Amino acid sequence: DAGHYDNGGYEHYLLKEISEQPDTVARTLRGRIDDRFHIAHLGGLNMDAREIRSFRRVKIIGCGSAYYSGQMGAQLIEELARIPADAEPASEFRYRSPVVEPDTLYVAISQSGETYDTLVAVQELKRKGGRVLGIVNTVGSAIARETDGGIYLHAGPEVSVASTKAFISTAVAFALLALHLGRVRDLSPADGRRICEGLRRLPEQIKEILTLEDRIKELAKKYADAPGMMFVGRVRGYPVAREGAQKLKEISYVHAEAYPASELKHGPLALISPELPTVAIVPDDELLDKNLTTLGEIRARHGRILMVGHRTSEAADDCIVVPKNEVELDPILLTIPLQLFAYHAAVALDRDVDRPRNLAKSVTVE
């Protein structure tokens, strides 16, 4: 209940929680990075190196934003630990009677630790002998108790219905998990070091992004009157786009759709017009040129473009430039401006930011 926590002088809990992220990320990281061996210390996993080497697959489950953070996590695990990994909504997973494999590591994500669909999926996995870790914020919650071990986020209570700091801390926890798995498999010390250093830079870089708030507020006002928005990203940018769209629809009630950028031409390009602006996630990575080509295609259909990336581009109407980290960690930082964008769009439209209609903070029923 929001009444139990101090809003710290912020107008909304959501803004407080967005603004807290330099600290909450630091808390998620605290005591978990080993700069000597470039490894992560995750005592709560209860897993030895031999077991870690036995996994042939990682399957991640969660609902809503937790699922999108899991998609980000799956990419981190594939990139750093080189284990095939994917994420699926927990409810879909449990209803489709999944094959539970002994050499798969299952990871359940939940801020509250009480989401019914995720809890029941975990119980089903356990019944069938699955090895399940939890990435959970709420200590002692049902999912934390039900799993065989895991990582607590230590992000502190999240009051606003729309998840922000828990999303970011979950992605950070996945980076630690991927580092941990990778370093007992085949991630090199040099790459381990690169990731450790990148993780340590995150809190300061988030602070830098938060200083862009006034500009993002102007942009949110500019775009908030659109009847809908398209969010696009490729590979690492796609979960960012999905979470950005989710935040916008949850709190501003503006229709938002997220697509992999390369899928546009297979259908949704028909929607592009001056009335449907696009938020494009364009990191400086090996897909930069492809993404810039996509911007040209949107432009050619008179679509307005707000680009979020590491540089400005003539192909976009507006750009939000965020600090660069390691390519694997960039999605974490690229998500932050989208939280502020959704927040200010919701405020501009006079929505009930912390308690959006029809939604509950944790969905403890089927």
| CB 17, CB 165: distance < 8 Å | yes
Measured over the CA atoms of residue 244, residue 66, residue 135 and residue 12, the dihedral's sign is positive
* Burial status of residue 23 (CB atoms within 10 A of its CB: 0-12, 13-18, 19 or more): middle
Say what angle helices 237-252 and 65-76 make with each other, to 10 degrees. Answer: 170
SS (H, E, C) 169-203: HHHHHHHHHHHHHHHCCCCCHHHHHHHHHHHHHHH
Q: Kindly tell me which residue out of 33, 321, 349, 363 binds ligand AGP, with binding defined by CB under 6 A.
A: 363
Q: Which stretch binds ligand AGP (CB under 6 A): 157-165, 200-208, 285-293, 344-352?
A: 157-165
Site string for ligand AGP, 247-266 (x = CB under 6 A): ---x----------------
Whichever of 2 and 33 has its CB closer to ligand AGP, that residue is 2
What is the nearest approach in angstroms of ligand AGP to the Cβ of residue 72? 13
Stretch that binds ligand AGP, among 59-67, 253-261, 289-297, 311-319 (CB under 6 A): 59-67
3-state secondary structure (DSSP) of residue 34: strand
Among 14, 47, 63, 179, binds ligand AGP (CB under 6 A): 63
> Does 163 engage in binding with ligand AGP (CB under 6 A)?
yes
Nearer to ligand AGP among residue 97 and residue 358 (C-beta):
358
Binding flag, residue 162, ligand AGP (CB under 6 A)? yes
Residue with smaller CB distance to ligand AGP, 150 or 198: 150
Q: CA 312 to CA 324: how far, in whole Å?
A: 13
How far, in Å, CA of 250 to CA of 355, rounded? Answer: 10
CB of 166 to ligand AGP, least distance (A): 6
Q: Kindly tell me which of 75 and 118 has the beta carbon lying closer to ligand AGP.
A: 118
Nearer to ligand AGP, 112 or 294 (CB): 112
Among 64, 192, 203, 237, binds ligand AGP (CB under 6 A): 64
| Cβ at position 190, least distance to ligand AGP in Å | 35
57 φ/ψ angles, rounded to the nearest 5 degrees? -160, 150
- Report how many residues bind ligand AGP under the rule CB under 6 A: 16
The 10 Å Cβ neighbour count of residue 131 is 22
| CA separation, residue 51 to residues 5, 47, 181, 205, 355 (Å) | 41, 6, 10, 35, 43
**Is 361 labeled as catalytic in the residue annotation?**
yes
The residue from 59, 165, 247, 361 that is catalytic is: 361
Stretch that binds ligand AGP, among 5-13, 36-44, 60-68, 92-100 (CB under 6 A): 60-68
DSSP 235: T
Within residues 77-136, the interface with ligand AGP by CB under 6 A covers: 110-112, 115, 118
Pair of tokens at residue 27: 């808390």
Cα(201)–Cα(323) distance, rounded to whole angstroms? Answer: 10
**Where does this chain bind ligand AGP (CB under 6 A)?**
63-66, 110-112, 115, 118, 161-163, 250, 359, 362-363
Active site residues: 361
